[in-house]
Every structure is written in C-alpha cells, then in structure tokens.
Structure 1
C-alpha cells in the first residue's frame, strides 16, 4: 500500500527469502513449519532518531538462537545487517521497530518429514516504532498482575531462544485483563517470577535491584539496565526472585526494546509507593533515554546514499 504521495514503502518494508516488498505484500507459505509448528526464531532491534540501538548485540543473539534451533539461512550476519539497513532506508523511517525471523520451511518432495531436511529462510520487516503500551501510560506507570499459568520451563524450551511459543503468556494476558491490569507476569514451577508478557522484570527493595536469573529471555535492554546499574553504583542481584518478594518490593519495573524502561505502579492491586514511578526506576529510565539521545551504542543509518 502506498501513501498519498505514491511511496510504496510508506507503511513499512519487508524482506522475504531474498526479495524486498512493501510491508502489505510480504507473505510466507501457510504450509511452512515456521507457521504450522512455530518452528521459527526471531529478534527485534529498535531504530531511534535514525540509528539502530545495540545492533551487533541483537544480531549476535539472533544467530545464537538460530544455532540452538539448527536453523541456518543463507545470509551471513553482515548480510543480515545490510538487509535491515536497506529496509529502513526503503521506508525512510527515523523511529522503527525492526524484526528479523528465521523460518523453517518444509522438506522437499521425497525427503524425510524431519526438520533437518527443511529449507531455512530469512524474513525481516521494518515498521513505524511500536510502543509496548501507550507512551503516556509508560510515563505514568503500568499495572502488573501475577497470572496463574506457569512459564514454559527451560527444560521444555530454553526461553533465552526467542520464540513464538506464547500460549502461557497469552493466557496470562487474558487473566491480567480480567483483573484490570495492563500486563501479566508469570511464575516458574518453584513460584519464582520469570518475565512479563514481552518484557524482562526487575524489582527494588531497600535500594537493591534484583532480576530473575532463570526462566526468562536474556534481554538486550535488560543487559543495558544491568550496565546502567553498575554505572550508577546501584547494587544488583541476578538471582531467584520469589512471588512474595516481588509483590512486596518497593519498586518494580520492566524493560523491552519496544518501550525501554517500564516503571510499574501497581502489582496485584497493591499500589507501589505513592502511585507514581519510584525514584530508582525513574533514574534508570531517564539515564537510559538520555544516553540513547547521546548516541550510546548506536549504529547511525545513512539515508542519503543510493539504494
């Protein structure tokens, strides 16, 4: 779909198996195992003010996820970077949500019906920036709810491999909605918190920051928060965090590519502090976006050179 000026990539751009498309024209086969079995891994990198944030870290994690699932598209890491950059340049977006998927297709006729024999290919897209929640709600603070479904355990599927297995998180999101909360947080079988629906989590008690050590994604924004804690001299523990500790914390915040730092002001109906984002959450949030504005770990995009 083009905009009023006839720009075919105005709503976003996509790359599917070696070809570029306007976002509305990109397709994959409904027979591919990436669709039928969720046999796919992905990553998402943000573009803000015309620059990727931590692009190398996202590509490195994407490749590690592909290796874990024995997925191997023809593109090298450098070629994937070139694809993502071209998508941004085609779209002209200065603030963008940029996804990269590696999809397992199907085995060719006559081959065993085993994933080893299925072709792998790359699917990427660039869209206008997506906030995980409205910006005004992020600024005011989110409401969280510890839902009943337990997170898929690492023994079943390693959560550090980004995946589309969202059945547990989706159930949790419906429970959170029914409870009047914005987002669900899930526990593991031991009763410790793991992660939220699309974001990592932190809590603060007596000035000490903690984040779960098991059961969630090793988020790139989470890594950024850990680095900021060190920079700010904030004590940080990466360890099991019980539901009780989480519910009774002085502050709670999440973090994700699609939103940065996400202060919470309510957990299971309990108002945190005075109902406003806490001082440590706010300090980390402000430092995160200020450093981003200064070009922290940025890869600028050249919009002007020929495509």
Structure 2
C-alpha cells in the first residue's frame, strides 16, 4: 500500500475535492477505474459501507468499519488491509480531498479468475475501493422542511432467506424499481414490504413509525443501520418507548408519525404516505425531537472521531 505511512501534513489537499484508494494505491477519484471483467462489476459481487464526516469529524467510524468487516466475512472476502489500515486509509482520503463535510465510501469487490483458474468466486481475489467526496444527502432542502413524501411500494423486498439484507450489497433491483414507482406517484421515496406484508426498509434507509408515543421499527428484512442504532440510543436518552418487532403495513399506514434514518441524511421525518397527510403536513413533533437531538449531539462530538 503506497502512502500508508506518508507524513499526514503532506496529504491535505493532494487530491482536492475527491480522493480515492483503489487496490493498494491512492489517486484522484477520476483516475479510479474498475476493470469491466471483474466480478465486482459483472456480478455485483461487492459489499460496501458509507460513513459520514461533519465539521471534520467522522461519525461512528469504528461501527461502520466493524459492519463492513462483518459484511466482507459473510461474503468470503478477505482483502489484505486490516481494520486499522482501513481506518487509516479513510482518514487519509478525507485529508487528501480536503473536505470538512464528506461522504466516505468503502467497498470490497472481487476481481476475476486468473487465466486457467476455475470460474468460481473462490478463485477471485478481493480488493478495496474507497473514496471521499463532498457530503451527499439523499434528501433536498425542501424535503427537510416539509418532510418526506412516501409510498408503500408494490415491489416486495428480496426475501431474507435468499440474501441477508444485513450484508450491504449492490443488488438494488427491487429498491431501484421502487424509486421509479415513487417518482411516477409524485412521491420522494418508497417503503418496501416483505412477502408477509410487513415493513422492511426503503432504498437506503431504515423505517420507523410512532403510534401513541411508542416508536417501532422492523426487526427483520432490512439493514442494521448505524443511524438506526443511534435512534435506539436517543430513544433511551429521551425516555421514549422503543419496540423492535414486526411492523405491519396497516400499522405504518395508521401511525401518528413516520420517519426514516440513514447515514446520508440522518433522521428524516415524513409528512405523507400514499397521499395521506400526517399532522399538519409537516414532520411530527416526536420525529423532530429525535432529529434535533441527533444533530445537536453530533455537533457536540457524539460518537465522533476527529480527522488528524
């Protein structure tokens, strides 16, 4: 790995705006290329994770790396970099990009079998592709004010006995189709159900509903989100009852409030579901209390790791 031991003071702004680490080397993001023959491209044989940086501080960096390692292990991927080296790489990428608010991605993908080798994933080496770019949010300033407009998708989420959704992956066929369905309905995003009619997740976010002051979120069918974990902690701190269990479609539709959570947006309240208007067509009071607490604590350094 070149530059892993480079003096940190020499790194700031080296690849200003967008920096990458690919298969052992640092470079400008524009130069990071994945061969089209690699199975990471041809078969979506990839796992990934994304960590946010705000005001020069990573949020829950070690939690993200731990989840990334668990995903790699589940997919039989073992790149040469240790967790500590991955941490070091991500730090250096943010310095190289010289951005205070950053979207930092880490991916592990499989190459292709060597000539003559058995065409089996065990024959493909795994390697890292990481990058740091200016912060990306999945919600617009308008959505921040009015709340997200959601639909319940007709597309069912991929069954958990086909692939474990707790392993982050690029198999977004169902999620992508739900986004087009939401767009056609004039909504922002969709919530997907499982084949039993229970809520799972949306494209890139976990889902919560609030009924009679009780916060509920699905126990299965979605990613174990890092921001979701933060919501659990906030509920305990704020004295809010939280239930992790099956959430039916009817419960979601009849809830008092709905909000979602993701790295690329934090806590994101909704104000409509399939045209039903919640409250005064604005984010609900409990959702807003959680959102405000989340960002206030982030500003104070909660679960933060300063960039050197």
TM-score after normalising by structure 1: 0.95
Match of 2:280 in 1: 274
Task: Determine the structure 2 residue equivalent to 1:48.
Answer: 54
* Superposition deviation, residue 110 in structure 1: 1.6
The DSSP-based 3-state class of the residue aligned with 2:77 is coil
Partner of 2:247: 241
Q: Does 1:169 align with 2:175?
A: yes
The CA deviation at 1:8 is: 6.1
Q: Is the 8 A contact 2:149 2:272 kept in 1?
A: yes
Range with bigger deviation, 19-28 or 34-43: 19-28
The counterpart of 2:102, out of the listed 77, 81, 96, is: 96
In the TM superposition, what are the counterparts of 1:135-284 in structure 2 within 5 Å? 135-284=141-290
Who is 2:298 aligned against?
292
The match for 1:80 among 67, 86, 96 is 86
Give the match for residue 116 of structure 2: 110
Aligned length: 296
How big is each residue's C-alpha offset from its partner over 1:218-261, in whole Å with a ceiling of 9 and x where there is no partner? Answer: 00000000110011110011001011110110000000000101
The residue matched to 1:163 in structure 2 has which SS? coil
Gaps of 5+ in 2: 1-12
2:67 corresponds to which residue?
A: 61
Deviations 1:141-194 (A, max 9, x none): 000011111001110000000000100011111111111100011000000110
Q: SS at 1:194's partner residue?
A: coil
For 1:154 and 1:32, locate their aligned partners in 2 and report how far apart those are by CA, in whole Å.
26
Unaligned runs of 5+ in 1: 1-6, 303-307
- Report Cα offsets for 1:5-53 as digits up to 9, x if no partner: xx66233100000111111111111100000000010000000000100
C-alpha root-mean-square deviation of aligned residues, in Å? 0.8
The aligned residue for residue 70 of structure 1 is 76
- Quick one: distance in 2 between partners of 1:140 and 1:78? 41
Paired residue for 1:29? 35
